[in-house]
Amino acid sequence: MENLSVEFCGVKFQNPAVLASGILGVTASSLKNVVKNGAGGVTTKSIWLEEHGGHKNPTMFGTDHYFMNAVGLSDAGVKKALGETFPEYNKNKPAPIIASIVAGNLEDFGKLADEINKCEPDIIEVNISCPNIENECGKSFACSKTDASKVTEVVKKNSKKPVIIKLSPNVPDISEIAKACADKGADGFCAINTVGPGMAVDIDLKLPILSNKVGGVSGPGIKPVAVRCVYDVYKATGLPVIGTGGVITGKDMIEMMMVGARLVGMGTMVYYREAKGFGKVVKEVEDWCDKNRVKKIEDIIGIID
Ligand SMILES: Cc1cc2nc3c(=O)[nH]c(=O)nc-3n(C[C@H](O)[C@H](O)[C@H](O)COP(=O)(O)O)c2cc1C
């Protein structure tokens, strides 16, 4: 085809398919392998300032309709990203890399932004879905426009790269949160993180399937929620959005772009189609564009009123 390349926050991506945070995003070699399989860009698993433990197994399971995880944001900390993951990835860098960062308080978000600059990512994605430990109810930053905007402000102040905020769908009005972040200088958004939490029971064992009992829901079942969120965020701010949530096929990707996504994130897709799914989705998009005489993929972004 024609032209599948997209510019996002001043960074050029060969195609709009991006690896979402948390899946295959821990080592440079697995990130590079995702690009080899057709992705236009990659996002790291969310990086903490210090090493962070996760939940006990079982932490994930999938069905035909949805996937659930309670991995618990385990990570080795920014030292590993700085000393290993980024230097190795950036050697013969095959595609842009987005560094996902996460913290439990504003001070750590600031320090982390400072450290992550040294990793030389192309873009910084701020995962605000974890609890704010300074909030007395342990509410997540993503659920309060004040908290979300404060995180945006502190990361922007300490960052030399474009900063995008990864929004949660689990709020009454996602546009309000997006606008508050945009007012503090967010360069764009990623929408959405997982839905829920959800819960599922093994009726034979008479036990919850996840050791954590509840977990974030992803995959095909959440796509309509993700599409609505991307639509709302793009309409409210006009800023570039990575549309993420339930994208499994080329048609899903086109749908996301029509409501305003500039890039499209895929995580759970790997469970259904493996890493080579990236290339397959891109080929499906290409075929759709050829059939519908779309010469430049950028022409379909946000065409839904
Ligand atoms: C196993 C697993 C781990 C995840 N870890 C992270 C993470 O570390 N940081 C983050 O921002 N999102 C994380 N997510 C959320 C995904 O990036 C994505 O927003 C969500 O799964 C919806 O997209 P999907 O349906 O394509 O998976 C994780 C999702 C899964 C399934």
For position 10, which CATH number holds? 3.20.20.70
Ligand 1 contacts (CB < 6 A) are 20-23, 45-46, 60, 67, 69, 71, 73, 100, 127, 166, 193-194, 218-219, 222, 244-247, 266-269
In a domain, 1, yes or no: no
Torsion of CA 249, 253, 256, 262, to 10 degrees: 160
Tell me which residue range forms the domain holding 251.
Answer: 6-300
Beta strands at 195-199 and 214-218: parallel, antiparallel or unpaired = antiparallel
Contacts of 193 (CB under 8 A, 6+ apart): 127, 129, 142, 166, 167, 168, 169, 216
Instruction: Pick the atom of ligand 1 nearest to 125's CA.
Output: 11
Q: Which two tokens stand for residue 226?
A: 């993700």
Contacts of 271 (CB under 8 A, 6+ apart): 62, 67, 219
Q: What pLDDT score does 131 carry? A: 78
Helical segments of the chain, H only: 28-36, 78-80, 86-90, 106-117, 145-158, 174-183, 223-237, 250-258, 269-273, 277-291
Atom 29 in ligand 1: residue holding the nearest Cα: 22
In a domain, 305, yes or no: no
Burial class of residue 213 (count of CB atoms within 10 Å of its CB; 0-12, 13-18, 19+): middle
Q: What pLDDT score does 2 carry? A: 56
- pTM score over 0.85: yes
Contact indicator for 55, 44 with CB cutoff of 8 Å? no
CA atoms within 13 A on the CB side of 250: 17
Residues noted as catalytic: 130
Q: Which two tokens stand for residue 267?
A: 């995580």
What b/e sequence results for 256-278 when a residue is b if at least 16 CB atoms lie within 10 Å of its CB, and e otherwise?
Answer: bbbbbbbbbbbbbbbbebebebb
Atom 4 in ligand 1: residue holding the nearest Cα: 22
Q: Which two tokens stand for residue 132?
A: 């704010």
Q: Give me ligand 1 centre to Cα 247, in Å.
A: 12
Q: Give the count of domains, the chain.
A: 1
> One digit per residue, pLDDT tens: the chain, 305 residues?
459 999 999 999 999 999 999 999 889 999 999 999 999 999 999 999 998 888 999 999 999 999 999 988 888 899 999 999 999 999 999 999 999 999 999 999 999 999 999 999 999 999 999 877 777 777 899 999 999 999 999 999 999 999 999 999 999 999 999 999 999 999 999 999 999 999 999 999 999 999 999 999 999 999 999 999 999 999 999 999 999 999 999 999 999 999 999 999 999 999 999 999 999 999 999 999 999 999 999 999 999 99
Residues forming a β-bridge with 217: 68, 195
Q: Give me ligand 1 centre to Cα 46, in Å.
A: 9
Q: In this structure, what are the phi and psi dihedrals at residue 262, rounded to the nearest 5 degrees?
A: -90, -40
Atom 12 in ligand 1: residue holding the nearest Cα: 21
In a domain, 236, yes or no: yes
**Cα separation, 39 vs 31, whole angstroms:** 10
In a domain, 206, yes or no: yes
Which of 21, 30, 57, 233 is the best mutation target for the ligand 1 pocket, counting ligand atoms within 8 Å of the beta carbon and taking the most? 21
**Cα separation, 302 vs 256, whole angstroms:** 9
Torsion of CA 184, 186, 192, 195, to 10 degrees: -20
**Cα separation, 277 vs 266, whole angstroms:** 10
Q: What pLDDT score does 25 carry? A: 82
Atom 7 in ligand 1: residue holding the nearest Cα: 22
